[in-house]
Each structure stands twice: as C-alpha cells, then as structure tokens.
Amino acid sequence: MSGRTHPRLRAFELLTLLAVPLGGALLAALLLPWVVGPGLAARGSANLLTPLPVQLTDATPAGNTVVLAADGSVITYLYRDNRVPVASNRIAAVMKQALVDIEDSRFYEHHGVDVQGTLRALVRNVTAGGVREGGSTITQQLVKQTLLQTAPTAAARQAATAETIGRKLREARLALALEDAYSKDEILTRYLNIVYFGEGAYGVQAAAQRYFGVNAADLTLPQAAMLAGLVQSPAEDSPLSDPTKARTRRNEVLQRMHDLGHITSQQLAEVSAQPVVVHPTDPPPNGCVEARIAGFFCEYALRQLTGALHVPEDALETGGLTIRTTLRPDLQSAGDHAVVADVPLGAPLAGMFTAVRPGTGEVLAMSANRRFGDDPNDPTQSSVNLNVEASKGAGSTYKAFVAAAALEQGIPPSNTITTTDPYVSHVYKNGTAPYVVQNAEHLPPTLTMTEALIRSSNTYFVALEDQLGSVKGPVRAAQRMGLFSLDPVADQVIAQRRGSFALGPEATSPLALASAYSTLAASGTQCDPITITAVLDRTGHPLVRADGSRVVPRKSCTPGAVPPAVATTLSQILVGDTALPIGTGTRAAIPGHQIAGKTGTSQGRDSVAFVGFTPRYAASVMVMNPRQNQDVGSFGGGRGAQIWHDAMLPILSKEPAVPFPPAGIPVTMPAPPAAPPAA
C-alpha cells in the first residue's frame, strides 16, 4: 500500500487550515461538495440556506394536552412525551449556564456550527470511515431532537438519528439557518424545553418537577449541574437509579463550570462534597386510566373528541391542546361517595350515577363503583363504561314513555282504567301464549294515569298500551326524548308488538336514561349528551383540522321533541313519586326542593333504576350485576332512590329551589292520606 496521503484527505487538511478564519457558513458551503461528491455539489450548494422546515419554526415544542373540568381543574393530561414548555424567564440562569458549559461552551461564539469541534470530529470520522465523534452544538442538537420528536413515521425517526455524515451535514445546514432566524436565548430556551432528561421527563420544567419537585425557575446550583449532566446519558446517570454515577457526573459539570470561570473554587468544593439530594415526584397523570377524577367521564369525552369532533388521536398526544369539558367536580365527587357508600368498590354488583343538565345535554358526572382501567385481575377496574353502555333493563322507568305517548294522543292524566291482577293483555302476546302481567304489590284495581304512574302499576300501563293499540307511539316517544340505547332494537320491539315495553326489559344505558328524562325537565327540549365545550390549540385558539375547519363543539338540541304541555304535565305528576306517601321514590326526596322521579325494577330484581330530575339537573341511578343475573336485594325505590338522594343532597342543599313550570294539561294529584285523629 502506498504511503502517499489520499487526495481528498489532503483537501480536507487544507480546509482545516482555512476553516477558522472563514467561519461557519463558508465552512458548511465548502464541506458540502467535498462530502457529497461533485455530482451533488450543485444541488447541495443551492439548498444550503433554504427555508427552515415547519417543525423548526415553532417557538417552543408543544407540551402536554390538558383535559379540564368545567371549573378549570385538571381531570388528566394526554401526552406521548411528558413536557411542560416554559419561557426563558422561567428557567433559572444557573441552569442555562450549566448546560452551556457542559454541552457547548462556545455556544455564544459560534453561529450554529462550532468550526473547531466539527473539523476535529470530521477528521476522526473520515479517517475511521464512519461517524465516531459528534462535535454537535446545542443548535445542532436542537435540530436533531426537533426532527426526531416531530417525525411522523418510523422511517423519518430513523433518518433523524442515522449515524451518517449526510445527516450531520444536514443538521449543520439547518443549524446555520436556525441561528439566522432566532436569538441565542431563544435557541437555548427551545433546547431546554425539548431535550430528554430521563425518567420520562422531556424539557427542564418536567425534569425539575420529576427529580426535585420544584419549578425550573427555582433550580439551585447542585440541581442544575445534575440536570445538565443527565443530557448526555440520562438512563446511566439517573440519581433515582444510581446516585453514585449521578454524583460523579454532576461533579464533572461543576468542574467544567469552574474551569470556565462561572463558579468559584469555594462553590466547587462545597457542592462537590454534597451527596445527590432528590425529592422525586410522580409524573402527571396520563390518559383516562390515570385521571385524577371521573375516569369514565374522561373515556366518554375522548370518545366524543375522536368520533363526533374528528380530532386525531395523534393531536391529542402531541398537540399540547387544552380540552374544556362539562364535568362538575363537586357533583362527580358527591356521586362517587354516594355510589360507593351503597355498593362497595369492586363488588359483583355495579352501581352507576349519571347526571346531565337539562336543556343543554351537558354531561355533569359519571360515577361508578369501579375505576376506569383494563387490569382483568383487579375487580375494582373496568374498561367497559357502564355509565354509557346498555347492559340491563331499567324496569318501570319506561312507563313515562307510555304516558308521554298517551298524552300526545289526547288521553288525559285523569284517564281511568280498572284492571284485574294479574291482567291479561287484549292486544299483546307472549309468543303465541297470552301476555299476563301482575303488580309487585297490592294496588287498587281502579286508577287514573296520574295515580298509576306515581304508584307504578304494571297492570294499568299494559292496559294503557292496550288502549293505544300499539307500542309504536311509546317507542318513538322514548327515542324522541333521547333514549338512544333503544335505537338498535326499536323497530324490532314495534314489529314484535312487545307489550312488555312498558315494564322496561330492554337493555338501557344509564346516560341515555338520564338524557331522556332531562327532556321532560327542559319542557320538551331534547339535547344530545355533550362533554366538550372547547378544544384549543397550543396558542389558545380553536383547534383547526387538517382540512382547515375549526373544532368548535356545538349543542344539538331539538325543541318540542315532545310537546311542552306533555313534558310539564309529566314533570308535575312525577313530583308525586317522591313527594307523596303513595309514591315509590320517596327516599329521593330532599326537603325544600321539587324532585320529579320514577323508579324501575326489572323482573327478578336483577336490575334496579331510579331517575330523578329538577329543572337544573337530571340524573339516573342503576344497580345491577353486568355479568350475570343477580338479585339486587332491593327495588328501584330502595337502593336506586337512596343513591340519588345521597348524591344530590350536598348539591341541592347549597342552591335555591327551582320549581317546575305549571302542568300544560290539567292534573289532579292524589290527596295525601288524612292525619290520624288525635289521641
């Protein structure tokens, strides 16, 4: 082999001598044709300072998406990388100095590419025939990390980290352009907001919280030195896993700061002698499983975001969005306590409390004796949202739909029917056999519609269905009122002429049940359930989709879904369910407030329900075993009404009473029983 130096290496040596006086930009221009070869020189030179990619033009990387309750409190965060960007003035000066000293001490002197460091690295790399040394500046590292963390595909991520001279050269070109566009402080701040510090913490604010429980603005010298040392090898030098290595690396940073004249000998000696002291905090919650409150509400809200509102999941994880929701934390907390007090967490029986706001569709609370999660070995967790999904029937709560259809057809609340008990339907069949129904307890044979609804007479309402001649009217009334869980089977119920509809055997969603009764509370205005009030981008403006449309949640309400006269009349009748001694829902009564309600119990008591509402709130309670048939051990007026009362008492007791509008159709309420004579 000849001992002569390769011509390209001689050229490189010449460039080495010229590079320092020529400066960074000319260095990159000269090195470009040398590295890529003469065939690409023209193209490469023409693109030397082309405009920055859009990823590099944002002022800061996006932080975590935050999901907020109606009062502004945090429900949870959504993120792929835990990051909380902060402004320059919210980062301690000692943190900036420590990072510059250990990572790029000539940061304030070069223009994005450190000529001396780059040439030294290139000499070694070319001699070795591959990349063996970095030589990257903070600006180049910012380019690399930005392209890596915003890469949309695996191929793009691989390209951002490929150990090739071509990639290094591209980084150098973009670094030069970046320094043309931004100040040194902006570049350093962006780098501190994007770099990985280990333990899942991206950016200095997340790192300061993770390791020390402080803000980036409050970092001390030993803390800043330790964080600056983590950038090179965050896993190996983590103080949480290896305090000895972390101390060694921290002291290297301190020594470098001393060598550069940025700390005194006394500071070096004092801090170097100290052990590594950390006060680690948990990362912020990520997703609905880790939600601070209302995991099932969170799950339903995200379902609406990616479904009806068409927000991509990727935008939720990486967009730094602000999502404002309808959740009432006080009502959610009250519901949680009420449910668990009656049905213990993780018991075979599931209890659900679900509340909405009449006239808006806003979902206010979703409580259950489960935590949202997917661990099959933990009975306290469930990945099925029982507040939304339909699993069991809601019993006699469906009688209100039959009553609504009858009132719509001109049958008055005073409509009187005398039935036998058991009662054999004149219209409906049980297959080919007669359809026979009986009451759960002894009731008078002759009742008005008002009395039958308050007393929850099975025989009366099947006889009322006979009078209507078809279940089509009640089924369609339920759908118009918002009982969306009925939609998949509605036509089948009508076609099969199921007289049992009045007794509510169809699988019912607790949310759908609350929503349907909220239509009565809103004088006939039906509103679809909504959880999202605003979706804002990282700048605080409404999020814009890829097609240019803005994500602006809108209420979907239908005034007159049932005639207002029918809705107000049913509301006034159902007040008797909680207020009169003959009512089945008296346990839900709250002194000083008008509560309209309806109880429901499925056959065999394998499911019980209660729906209560005021002009401001509508909430359903259901208790059942979602996996198998199990006697709940009570009726809808027992556990169901009690849970409703316990959830709503702390809310309504702080608010003035709001009366229902007068009945639109004349109603004669049953008289309370006479007081016993005095002794």
CB atoms within 10 A of CB 645: 23
Contacts 24+ apart (CB under 8 A), 151-154: none
- DSSP code, position 457: -
pLDDT at 39: 38
Q: Is the pLDDT of residue 173 over 90?
A: no
Beta bridge partner(s), residue 612 = 597, 619
Residue 10 pLDDT more than 80?
no
Residue 184 DSSP symbol:
H
> Which tokens belong to 619?
């909430």
C-alpha 337/C-alpha 386 separation (Å) is: 17
Reported as a pLDDT band with limits 50, 70 and 90, residue 52 is confident
Q: Using pLDDT thresholds of 50, 70 and 90, give the confidence band for residue 9.
A: very low
- Of the candidates 154, 485, 79, 123, the residue with the CA atom closest to the CA atom of residue 314: 79
**pLDDT band per the 50, 70, 90 thresholds, residue 125:** low
232-237: long-range pairs with CB below 8 Å, 24+: 232/102, 232/103, 234/196, 234/197, 234/198, 234/199, 235/198, 237/198
What does the DSSP 8-state code read for residue 375? Answer: -
Q: Tens of pLDDT along 595-640?
A: 999 999 998 899 999 999 999 999 999 999 998 999 998 889 999 9
| Rounded average pLDDT over 8-36 | 42
Q: Measured on CA atoms in the order 149, 151, 157, 159, is the torsion positive or negative? A: negative
pLDDT in tens, 180-203: 889 999 999 999 999 999 999 999
Handedness of CA 189, 191, 194, 197 (dihedral sign): negative
Buried b (16+ CB within 10 A) or exposed e, 305-322: beeebebeeebbbbbbbb
Q: What is the pLDDT of residues 491-517, one digit of tens each?
A: 999 999 999 999 999 999 999 999 999
pLDDT value at position 169?
82
Residues in the chain: 679
Q: What's the DSSP call for residue 36?
A: H
Task: Render pLDDT for 521-570 as a digit per residue (tens, 0 to 9).
Answer: 999 999 999 999 999 999 999 999 888 899 999 999 999 999 999 999 99
Residues 124-149, mean pLDDT to the nearest whole number: 73
Per DSSP, the three-state class of 277 is coil
Residue boundaries of the structural domains of the chain = 7-48+81-272, 395-525+560-652
The pLDDT-based confidence of 41 (bands split at 50, 70, 90) is: very low
Buried b vs exposed e over 167-192: b needs ≥16 C-beta within 10 Å? bbbbbbbbbbbbbeebebeebbbbbb
pLDDT at 584 over 60: yes
Residue 56: what pLDDT?
A: 79
Who contacts 213 (Cβ-Cβ below 8 Å, separation ≥6)? 279, 280, 281
Kindly state the average pLDDT of the residues 42-64: 63
Mean pLDDT of 119-141: 66
How far, in Å, CA of 83 to CA of 150, rounded?
14
To the nearest whole percent, how much of the chain has pLDDT over 90? 76
Q: Ramachandran region of residue 205, left (φ > 0), alpha (ψ -120 to 50) or beta? A: alpha
Q: How confident is the model at residue 84 (pLDDT cuts 50, 70, 90)?
A: very high
* 334 sits in which H/E element: helix 329-342
- Identify the helix (H) or strand (E) that includes residue 427: strand 423-430
Average pLDDT, the chain: 89
Stronger pLDDT, 230 or 26, i.e. the higher one = 230
Band the pLDDT of 147: cuts 50, 70, 90: confident
Q: Can you list the positions of beta strands (E) in 297-409?
A: 322-325, 350-356, 363-368, 371-372, 381-382
Average pLDDT over residues 48-54: 63
Residues 220-243, mean pLDDT to the nearest whole number = 96
Listed in sequence order, the residues at least 6 apart from 253 whose beta carbon sits closer than 8 Å to its beta carbon are 98, 101, 102, 225, 226, 228, 229
pLDDT at position 58 is 67
Query: What pLDDT, on the 0 to 100 scale, is given for residue 308?
Result: 93
Let me know: does 335 contact 297? Beta carbons within 8 Å: no
> pLDDT tens, 428-439?
998 889 999 999
Q: Which residue has the higher pLDDT, 487 or 29?
A: 487
Band the pLDDT of 129: cuts 50, 70, 90: low
What per-residue confidence (pLDDT) applies to 5? 42
Q: Is the pLDDT of residue 590 over 70?
A: yes
Secondary element (H or E) of residue 446: strand 446-448
* Architecture of the domain whose range is 7-48+81-272: Orthogonal Bundle (1.10)
Q: What is the reported pLDDT for 673?
A: 61
Cα–Cα distance, 101 to 114 (Å, whole number): 14
**pLDDT in the model for residue 674:** 55
The secondary structure of 633-671 as a DSSP string is SS-IIIIIHHHHHHHHHHHHTTS---PPPPPSS---PPP
> What's the whole-number mean pLDDT along residues 567-588?
97
How many whole angstroms separate alpha carbon 84 and alpha carbon 63? 5
Q: Write down the pLDDT at residue 528.
A: 98
Read off the pLDDT band of 37 (50, 70, 90): very low
Structure tokens at 333: 């907390």
395-525+560-652 has which fold? Beta-lactamase (3.40.710)
d(C-alpha 453, C-alpha 323), whole Å: 42
Give the mean model confidence (pLDDT) for residues 289-311: 96
**Residue 400: DSSP 8-state:** H
- Enter the pTM of the model: 0.87
Torsion of CA 392, 395, 399, 400, to 10 degrees: -60
pLDDT tens figures, 326-354: 999 999 999 999 999 999 998 999 999 99
d(CA 543, CA 546): 10
Nearest to 209 by CA among 517, 199, 671: 199
Partners of 325 in beta bridges: 532
